[in-house]
């Protein structure tokens, strides 16, 4: 049996209380959300926090709603909650595509959207999905609330801009008509982390792409996105040629590494192939009636 080291435990009852506890216990404290990443790391003693601040009682952070042209997702929303939200499915089908292939039902029932993003694993699916959607993260701290674009949220593998003493509270996704989005992932097995995955969110005017977001994960893409490919798509027709070019650019600008999931050249190929597939589906959806981002 894997056994974690000694740890103290506190249960937060509100966002303010959680922030107060984080302040009281300092850098040795760690937020506990679903625990599906943190607890395995503690068992392996890769993480040895002194105090866990359990935010599971903060049900006020468990919601998915539309507000002011934005889809707002509370940080404590479970994967299963996001997957089960018709609102999210309509406004941003990429999120349902992604959630369907993240982990397994047990992990999805308790693991949270905020926990996934704060874990900042370089293979995290939602990081790519929100990067494609150009979402905004809301962070609460002792000095109040601040917002950070999704693409500036991650500062490196397992590192984010969320400082000790802060809490991610919400993710905001812009929603506008004429948009479509999709997510495509290759794993070695159901519930496996991605070998590579790509998400796309496009907005069309007729068949012209007015804006495009491309998210990539597990392939060493900076900020989980493919900026050069997005740039090339803006104003281009939504055709196979455009998608193929975007795929090539996405592949060119990522820095995958060889590991047990696959060699770097394969992952680079996936960056191209999956970018094309995601764009194709996203554009199809954008053309379809009554679709959101």
Residues making contact with another protein (CB under 8 A): 1-3, 5-6, 44-45, 104, 186, 188-193, 195, 257-263, 265-267, 269-270, 273-274, 277
Strand 70-74's sheet: what is its strand order? 64-67, 70-74, 167-174, 136-141, 144-149
- Binding-residue total with ligand FAD (CB under 6 A): 29
Nearer to another protein, 139 or 195 (CB): 195
Nearer to another protein, 10 or 192 (CB): 192
CB of 32 to ligand FAD, least distance (A): 5
With contacts defined by CB under 6 A, name the span among 35-43, 84-92, 228-236, 243-251 that binds ligand FAD.
35-43
Nearer to ligand FAD, 126 or 238 (CB): 126
259 makes contact, choosing from another protein, ligand FAD, none, with CB < 5 to 8 Å by partner type, with another protein
270 makes contact, choosing from ligand FAD, another protein, none, with CB < 5 to 8 Å by partner type, with another protein
263 makes contact, choosing from another protein, ligand FAD, none, with CB < 5 to 8 Å by partner type, with another protein
36 makes contact, choosing from ligand FAD, another protein, none, with CB < 5 to 8 Å by partner type, with ligand FAD
In 3D space, the residue among 197, 163, 195 whose CA is nearest the CA of residue 275 turns out to be: 197
Nearer to ligand FAD, 147 or 207 (CB): 147
- Check if the beta carbon of residue 182 is closer than 8 Å to that of residue 110: no
Among 115, 179, 180, 292, binds ligand FAD (CB under 6 A): 115
Residue 203 pairs in a beta bridge with 179, 211
Please, which residues have CB within 8 angstroms of residue 251's CB and are 6 or more apart in sequence? 268, 269, 271, 272, 275
Distance between CA atoms of 212 and 228, rounded to whole angstroms?
Answer: 11
| Residue recorded with tokens 């509270």 | 169
CB of 193 to another protein, least distance (A): 7
Can you state the angle between helices 93-100 and 125-133, rounded to 10 degrees? 170
Check the CA dihedral 7-193-79-117 and report its sign: positive
266 makes contact, choosing from another protein, ligand FAD, none, with CB < 5 to 8 Å by partner type, with another protein
List C-alpha distances in Å: 168 to 2, 25, 73, 212, 227.
29, 18, 11, 26, 25
SS3 287: helix
For residues 39-98, which are near ligand FAD according to CB under 6 A? 75, 79
With contacts defined by CB under 6 A, name the span among 6-14, 63-71, 113-121, 130-138 that binds ligand FAD.
113-121
Check the CA dihedral 267-227-127-65 and report its sign: negative
Q: Using CB under 6 A, list all residues that contact ligand FAD.
A: 30-38, 75, 79, 102-103, 107, 111-112, 114-116, 118-119, 124-126, 162, 167-168, 191, 193
């Amino acid at each position: 049996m894997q056994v974690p080291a000694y740890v103290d435990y506190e249960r937060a009852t509100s966002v303010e209380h959680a922030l107060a506890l984080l302040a009281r216990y300092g850098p040795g404290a760690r937020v506990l959300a679903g625990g599906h990443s943190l607890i395995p790391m503690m068992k392996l003693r890769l993480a040895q926090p002194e105090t866990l601040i359990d935010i599971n009682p903060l049900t006020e952070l468990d919601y998915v709603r539309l507000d002011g042209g934005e889809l707002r997702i509370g940080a404590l929303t479970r994967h299963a909650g996001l997957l089960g939200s018709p609102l999210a499915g309509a406004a941003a089908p990429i999120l349902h595509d992604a959630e369907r292939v993240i982990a397994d039902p047990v992990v999805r029932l308790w693991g949270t959207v905020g926990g996934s993003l704060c874990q900042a694993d370089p293979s995290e699916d939602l990081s790519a999905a929100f990067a494609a959607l150009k979402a905004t993260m809301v962070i609460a701290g002792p000095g109040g609330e601040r917002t950070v674009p999704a693409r500036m949220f991650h500062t490196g593998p397992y590192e984010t801009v969320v400082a000790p003493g802060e809490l991610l509270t919400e993710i905001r996704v812009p929603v506008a008509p004429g948009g479509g989005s999709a997510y495509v992932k290759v794993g070695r097995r159901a519930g496996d982390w991605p070998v590579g995955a790509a998400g796309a969110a496009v907005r069309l005017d007729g068949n012209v792409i007015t804006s495009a977001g491309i998210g990539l994960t597990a392939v060493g893409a900076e900020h989980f996105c493919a900026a050069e490919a997005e740039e090339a798509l803006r104003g281009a027709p939504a055709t196979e040629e455009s998608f193929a070019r975007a795929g090539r650019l996405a592949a060119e600008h990522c820095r995958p590494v060889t590991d047990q999931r696959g060699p770097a050249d394969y992952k680079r190929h996936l960056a191209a192939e999956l970018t094309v597939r995601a764009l194709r589906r996203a554009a199809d959806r954008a053309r379809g009636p009554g679709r959101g981002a």
